[in-house]
Structure 1
Amino acid sequence: MSNVIADMRRDYTLAGLDIADVLPDPVQQFRRWFDEALKAGLPEPNAMHLATVGAGGKPAGRIVLLKEVDDTGFVFYTNYESRKGHELAAHPVAALTFFFVELERQIRIEGTVEKVTAEESDAYFAIRPRGSQIGAWVSHQSDAIAGREVLAQRQQELEARFEGKDIPRPPHWGGYRVIPSVIEFWQGRPSRLHDRIQYAKDAAGAWQLARLSP
């Protein structure tokens, strides 16, 4: 039996994208596309692929959720002692990818990474559901465990510990901000001749636009 995946390709015909169509600021352009994804009812449009640099320069990827975006960058929250936390400590650079398949759109972001302030992490942690707050204490993220019962036992212990109390943010949990240096907007087009508009920061920190070949 052939190992070749059957050709299930689709042609992309919904829209086009030109430099004349986009806003001068890529973060505002991101907001435009993100808002359109929300209005279209896409499931979890804030889900994004996060790529980091692992041991020996090997890439590692996983899906995380975008929680904030402003002129300074794109913010997500996680366990600082997880695999990605260790990788970001050693190599504070990352790439993000959003894929809005129903809109035939992709957004790619590359940049440096920094932790958000403790105050920002505290503020976000305070509005999380209580179960998620407990979960941040329960999980030693990325560590090997004997079985799910380990998590259940920790959960019971911590629910008893914090019963009737506000749950503080664990010191090992908080946010990262990806500060973009490159942002690319991809719109699917027929015959795989896709539209790609890239914003890249120059030495002076100004955004320069270019159309890329598909």
Structure 2
Amino acid sequence: MGASTIMSESIEWIGGEHVVAKRAATPEIHNQIIQICKDYEEHLKAAGQDCRAGQPTPGNKAGGLSTLDEKSLGCIRKGGTRPIVEVLEQAQRPTKHGAIVMDTAGYDISSVTSMVAGGCNAIIFTTGRGTTTGNAIVPVLKVTANAHTYQCMEDNMDVDLSAIITGEKTYQKMGAELVQIIGDVCNGKMTKAEAFGFSDIAVDHVCRFV
């Protein structure tokens, strides 16, 4: 499609930040990625919190995650494999074309708001347990590979990728279908959130939070 992509929620890289950093197009970008995670840990320690001790969350565990590393690697894998060409601050507009990362909060609504403020034209929001967020400015396409989540929340979820897990379809087949759906949405097809007129906004202007 020729689009640039932004991966956000940088706190969720902790435990696997070295994997993200390996995709850096330059040594400077590599160091920026590592520093983002260090800064997050120091910020939380200053508040008496240990993000590694508190992860995975009870909700994560209920969803099947067992360790912080497992959670981080799952988040990172969804960001693709292309070289990362730029690291952005929250809500900063990209100046490069390609795979980009943005240092945002781990809170879903704030993360989406930050990417929209940075100029994203569409959000591909992956969720396991079912986040219902939307945005008033750009379409938010909610994607899940959890069949139970899709069945229970079909009114809010846009795409069911569980056929990959069950083996009914290949990654390539489902990937092609997802690209087609993204194209349809970018050309005017309404997402579930748009159809319901549902939108959220959150701006973390006081401190970094998870």
Q: Shorter chain as normaliser: what TM range?
A: under 0.3
TM-score by length of 2: 0.25
Q: When you count helix as a share of all residues, which structure comes out higher? A: 2
* Higher Rg: 1
Higher RCO (Cα < 8 Å, 6 or more apart): 1
